[in-house]
Amino acid sequence: MEKILIVEDDELIAELERDYLEANGFETDIASDGRAGERMAKAGGYNAVLLDVMLPGKTGFDVCRELRKTLHLPIIMVTAKKEDIDKIRGLGLGADDYLVKPFSPAELVARVKSHIHIHSLLLSSQEEREEETAIAYQNLTILPKSRMVYLDDKEVVLVNKEFELLLFMAENPNIVFSKDTLFDRVWGMDSLGDVATVTVHINRLRDKLGKNVKETQFIETVWGAGYRFRIN
């Protein structure tokens, strides 16, 4: 069950927020001042923080700024003053959203659910990128799952078949493939067209990738035989 930290010094408002959230399946904890809220948030175990602006001990602005140094979770600031909105937007505190009192139970729950969902998607995407095994050769990097290619740390935009052709050859380095074999493996044996398209795509890849740090083409022509992705 997802858990929300409510940092609010007004006991009645804190209890209302707790009731709204728990009625929608969340667990909650309440901190009644800024320093306690900061300490509890840093202790971990929360999926989001609902943070009031005006707090005893330490303001919500200062708490948000401090939490953002180490924590990556949704922070929704709550204020009774509309003029605080500009501060929240302009101070670069790292707050994900804000609510102005009074707000409806539905709005509170919707904002919390939305930001937890967005954060979860971003976290999953980041984990996938970190787990992805890159194919790297000198100044060229290929990310198979993300279908992205970088040359000298700059992205190279490839169309689908260009990427698939490059990936197939890079996954099988130093092996010479005929045009027929490349066409069958990348386009499929039942595809319309002919092997001339392989030459066209090889030329496009060479134009986009340029040369490696040894001043040679990544994709080498082996006359009378075909092409290979050379790594030595």
The mean per-residue pLDDT over the stretch 24-28 comes to 96
pLDDT for 71: 86
The mean per-residue pLDDT over the stretch 49-59 comes to 93
Three-class SS of residue 220?
Answer: strand
Provide CATH 1.10.10.10 ranges for the chain.
Answer: 135-229
Cα–Cα distances in angstroms (integers) from residue 198 to residues 11, 165, 194, 217, in the given order: 70, 9, 8, 16
pLDDT for 192: 60
Decide which of 2.30.29.30, 1.10.10.10, 3.10.580.10, 1.10.3720.10 is the CATH code for 135-229.
Answer: 1.10.10.10
Strand partners, 76: 50, 97
For the domain spanning 3-130, the CATH number is 3.40.50.2300
- 53 and 61 Cβ atoms separated by less than 8 Å: yes
Banded pLDDT at 212 (limits 50, 70, 90): low
Provide CATH 3.40.50.2300 ranges for the chain.
Answer: 3-130
Q: Which amino acid is at 93?
A: L
92, pLDDT greater than 70: no
The mean per-residue pLDDT over the stretch 50-77 comes to 91
Strands (E), 53-208: 75-79, 97-100, 135-137, 140-143, 148-151, 154-156
- How much of the chain exceeds pLDDT 90, in percent? 47
- For the entire predicted model, the pTM comes to 0.56
